[in-house]
Amino acid sequence: MLSRQYIVAVTTWGLFDTHTIRYTFGMTDDFDAFDTLFLVEVEDDDGAGAQTLSFSRSPTVLLTFAANRFTRAAAKTYAQKFGIGAVDWRMLVMLTRKPGATVTESANTIGIDKGAISRCIARLEKRGLATKGELHANGRSRGWWLTAEGRKLHGEVLREALDRQRILLDGYSEEEIAQFTDLLRRFLVNLDALTEKTSG
């Protein structure tokens, strides 16, 4: 049972059905006080209730929504203007930052599985945007470099990416951007710890 709660009706972003949302603060039978910051109790037409994640106050939910919408919009823009996908753009950045990076290095840095990176590299190579180096001593991996055409395309997409970022950060001060960036870096550190814990 909820120790204390107040009730407000919420309709935001079209994500909520038009029913009453109970924002919960305090202890419940199943969740501790910290968890309740991110929960809502929903009530259906029959009066049955259940707790679930808030769409407006849970950082992980908001981050997921933002990442999905950002990636989808970016992929559409890059495909229309440059004929590449979102992963292709990430690899253009990766190989600009670290020429000679392998598929494994790129996958670990970007956070995408090696299969997706390999398919991306194949697309870039087919378009003449990337070229492979010699096999490493282990006989299994090889580095990849951007060609002159790949570097040229990187510069063109970079200008578009910065224009999009400028719009997304409109209204933020430099201090707020620095704080936001720091919070995301710390979140990624915790995500690495979570991944290690769950895969161990």
Task: Please state, in angstroms and as integers, the Cα–Cα distance from residue 56 to each residue in 41, 59, 61, 80, 177, following that order.
Answer: 13, 8, 8, 32, 21
Give the phi and the psi of residue 99 in degrees, each rounded to 5: -60, 140
Helices 103-110, 86-97: crossing angle, 10 deg rounding: 110
Domain ranges of the chain: 5-57, 63-179
Range of lowest pLDDT (10-24, 31-45, 59-73)? 10-24
Distance CA 38, CA 52 (A): 8
DSSP character at residue 117: H
Q: How many CB atoms lie within 10 A of CB 105?
A: 16
How would residue 187 be classed by pLDDT, with cut points 50, 70 and 90? very high
Distance CA 152, CA 59 (A): 37
pLDDT at 43 over 90: no
Report the topology of domain 63-179.
Arc Repressor Mutant, subunit A (1.10.10)
Structure tokens at 187: 């979140």
Helix (H) or strand (E) holding 79: helix 59-82
> Do residues 61 and 54 lie in contact, with contact meaning Cβ atoms separated by under 8 Å?
yes
Q: Please state the pTM of the whole predicted model.
A: 0.75
